[in-house]
């Protein structure tokens, strides 16, 4: 099942070339703040699932081509992200140390990315005004938590997965705190919808790729993850309670590279989804914290 947040807060199921509006299954008020309709949908999915088939026959529909798809989860409890989780990417970031395990996700754990950096499949990636810095794309599988929990064992972890989505972890390269470098608005595009786990049975064998202006930059398969999907859930829940709708960005494969004004970025994950985003140069973001030369002489 492919579940979308569409037309500013409505919940839809993509059925062929149309979107069926099922917002009323969770009494979702599209204009409510905070916008938590999709969290309610995910949290109550097991209860409402038996009614979805019948609801699909009666729901109002619009053509998929005329629906505006938004970020499927805009108000999660948290966005967890794993660094350095594919061997080949570690090779390009840190070569010749001989101490790889200390620097990969199995030894480093995870970090958090700001929830407000989430954006949708129709939104541009807006580059901050940091002309001296490289801003990179990272192509990542997003794991969406369904059933929450703490201290989830590895052998039960996939029972807690609601589904998957495409996610680009955008980052300003540098030595500043990672959460700041990765949390600019629009630095976490996710979408174009959520694909439920039953449609992605082989999470350990998913092709993913990212291209910029048609040129393939990243191409990988989840079989090359260092910390796998169940292990990521186990590690995260050893620290914190996971809640329905929490997002885990599973780390990038090799091939990270620069994004520039007017680029078009496509992320494609087999069986999960595909989206193409425009990159725009924005005017916000400048701050002395990024200006190391000025900081040293001030
Ligand atoms: Mn990343």
Residue ranges near ligand 1 (ion) with Cβ within 5 Å? 138, 169, 252
- Over residues 216-254, the pLDDT tens digits come to 999 999 999 999 999 999 999 999 999 999 999 999 999
Residue 56 and residue 84 share a domain = no
* C-alpha closest to that of 137 among 50, 253, 240: 253
Least-confidence region, from 52-56, 94-98, 223-227 = 94-98
Residue 18 and residue 152 share a domain = no
Q: Ligand 1 centre and the CA of 170: distance in Å?
A: 7
Domain boundary among 17, 38, 66: 66
Confidence of residue 99 (pLDDT cuts 50, 70, 90): very low
Residue 113 and residue 214 share a domain = yes
- What does the pLDDT average to over 32-43? 96
Q: What is the mean pLDDT of the chain?
A: 93
Q: Ligand 1 centre and the CA of 200: distance in Å?
A: 21
74 assigned to some structural domain: no
Beta bridge partners of 167: 140, 190
Confidence of residue 88 (pLDDT cuts 50, 70, 90): confident
Q: Ligand 1 centre and the CA of 114: distance in Å?
A: 13
Q: Ligand 1 centre and the CA of 255: distance in Å?
A: 12
**Half-sphere CA count of 233, side-chain side, radius 13 A:** 28
- What does the pLDDT average to over 71-86? 96
Residue 229 and residue 114 share a domain = yes
Residue-number span of the structural domain to which 209 is assigned: 79-290
Q: Ligand 1 centre and the CA of 79: distance in Å?
A: 11
Residue 17 and residue 58 share a domain = yes
Confidence of residue 8 (pLDDT cuts 50, 70, 90): confident
CA distances from 32 to 27, 86, 143, 215, 238 (A): 11, 40, 26, 41, 33
Residue 91 and residue 58 share a domain = no
Residue 106 and residue 24 share a domain = no
Residue 169 and residue 283 share a domain = yes
Q: Ligand 1 centre and the CA of 179: distance in Å?
A: 11
Q: Ligand 1 centre and the CA of 249: distance in Å?
A: 7
Q: Ligand 1 centre and the CA of 193: distance in Å?
A: 20
Q: Ligand 1 centre and the CA of 93: distance in Å?
A: 12
Alpha-carbon span 232 to 9, nearest angstrom: 29
295 assigned to some structural domain: no
Domain count, the chain: 2
Q: For the chain, give the number of residues.
A: 298
Residue 221 and residue 96 share a domain = yes
Q: Ligand 1 centre and the CA of 85: distance in Å?
A: 8
pLDDT at 27: 85
Q: Ligand 1 centre and the CA of 228: distance in Å?
A: 15
**pLDDT greater than 80 at residue 297:** no
Helices marked H in the chain — which ranges? 37-43, 45-58, 87-93, 100-103, 105-108, 178-181, 229-239, 292-297
Confidence of residue 91 (pLDDT cuts 50, 70, 90): low
297 assigned to some structural domain: no
Q: Ligand 1 centre and the CA of 201: distance in Å?
A: 23
């Amino acid at each position: 099942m492919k579940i979308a947040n569409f037309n500013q807060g409505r919940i839809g199921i993509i059925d062929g070339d149309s979107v069926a509006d099922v917002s009323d299954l969770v009494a979702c008020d599209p204009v409510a703040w905070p916008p938590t309709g999709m969290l309610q949908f995910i949290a109550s999915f097991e209860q409402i699932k038996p009614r979805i088939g019948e609801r699909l026959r009666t729901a109002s529909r619009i053509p998929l081509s005329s629906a505006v798809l938004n970020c499927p989860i805009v108000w999660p409890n948290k966005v967890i992200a794993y660094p350095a989780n594919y061997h080949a990417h570690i090779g390009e970031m840190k070569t010749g140390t001989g101490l790889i395990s200390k620097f990969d996700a199995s030894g480093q754990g995870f970090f958090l990315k700001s929830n407000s950096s989430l954006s949708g499949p129709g939104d541009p990636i807006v580059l901050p005004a940091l002309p001296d810095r490289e801003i990179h794309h990272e192509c990542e599988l997003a794991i969406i938590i369904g059933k929450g929990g703490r201290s989830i064992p590895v052998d039960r972890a996939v029972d807690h997965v609601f589904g998957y989505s495409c996610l680009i972890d955008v980052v300003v390269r540098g030595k500043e705190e990672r959460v700041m470098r990765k949390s600019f608005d629009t630095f976490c595009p996710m979408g174009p919808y959520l694909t439920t786990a039953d449609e992605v049975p082989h999470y350990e064998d998913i092709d993913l790729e990212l291209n910029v202006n048609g040129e393939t930059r990243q191409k990988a398969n989840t079989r090359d993850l260092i910390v796998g999907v169940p292990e990521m859930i186990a590690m995260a829940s050893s620290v914190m309670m996971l809640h329905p709708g929490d997002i885990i960005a599973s780390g990038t494969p090799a091939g990270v590279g620069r994004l520039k004004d007017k680029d078009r970025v496509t992320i494609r994950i087999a069986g999960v989804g595909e989206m193409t985003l425009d990159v725009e140069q924005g005017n916000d973001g400048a701050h002395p914290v990024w200006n190391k030369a000025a900081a040293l002489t001030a």
